Amino acid sequence: MTALLEVKNVKKRFGAVEALRGVTFTLGEGEVLGIAGDNGAGKSTLIKTISGVHRPDQGELLLKGTPLQLRSPREARAAGIETIYQDLALADHLGVGANIFLGREPLRWALGFLPVIDTAKIAQEITNLLGRIESHIPDHETKVMDLSGGQRQAVAIARAMYWKARLVIMDEPTAALAAMESKNVVKLARALADEGISVIFIDHNLPELLGVCDRVMVMYRGDKVFEASSKETSQDELVRYMTGYSLRDKGVEA
């Protein structure tokens, strides 16, 4: 599998706290990589480093072999890296189409010189896009505040797909969803991979993580301590690494 993202020996410190202690991993194109870890393991710092919120103190990020020097989330998005946080960062009082195109609306020219938003094109593009991800959102003008949690996730994912993201980071995407909606979000994550988009999927629900991801890695106290194909590991093994038991079994200070 061709590597999309390479994270090499990335370290990040906040004062006396070493949040990342030399994390190294590779993410393939169209691969879903799960990241597990208890609170304080460094997961949030890692994804914020990849998404341009933090700059690493040491190490490097490479996207398709090209070094990334990200100074902001805007630069990360320009490089094709989209992050979908638990709060989704959607504009609740705007419609589905407005959220997907927010700040990047297609224009048409009225009277040959006056730029106006091309609402017909937005409607057509949204219809096609929601069809691709098989989302049951009735109307592109529906306000996001009136959508269910799973439908809101679909809007955020559709936005990433439309703007040709190469990597989508999903941070606890099913944490506040009912079981059926969680299944739909998992389905959307696989739909992204089927389109060749790489996904980093962070989740505390280990059975769900193993079910959706091709590969899983575990973080513990700021470092990657375990990595395996989802088919070659188990919930029990992940828990042992998340809590440090397997490290102590190997004589590693945990």
- Report the C-alpha gap between 163 and 168 in whole angstroms: 11
Long-range contacts of 111-116 (CB under 8 A, 24+ apart): none
- Which of 247, 198, 189, 177 lies closest to 218 in space, CA to CA? 247
For residue 26, the domain's CATH number is 3.40.50.300
Q: Residue 254 domain-assigned?
A: no
Residues 6+ apart with CB under 8 A from 56: 10, 11, 12, 20, 49
Q: Residue 191 domain-assigned?
A: yes
- Kindly give the parts of the chain with pLDDT less than 70: 86-88, 133-134, 247-254
What is this structure's pTM? Answer: 0.86
Mean pLDDT of the chain: 87
Q: Residue 234 domain-assigned?
A: yes
Residues 6+ apart with CB under 8 A from 224: 23, 24, 25, 217, 218
Q: Residue 62 domain-assigned?
A: yes
Based on C-alpha coordinates, what's the Rg of the chain? 19
Residue type, 191: A
At residue 13, the pLDDT reads: 96
Residues 35-80: tens digit of each pLDDT? 999 999 999 999 999 999 999 999 999 999 999 999 999 899 899 9
- Tell me the residue range of the domain where 238 lies: 3-249
At residue 111, the pLDDT reads: 75
Question: How many structural domains comprise the chain?
Answer: 1
- Report the C-alpha gap between 254 and 249 in whole angstroms: 10
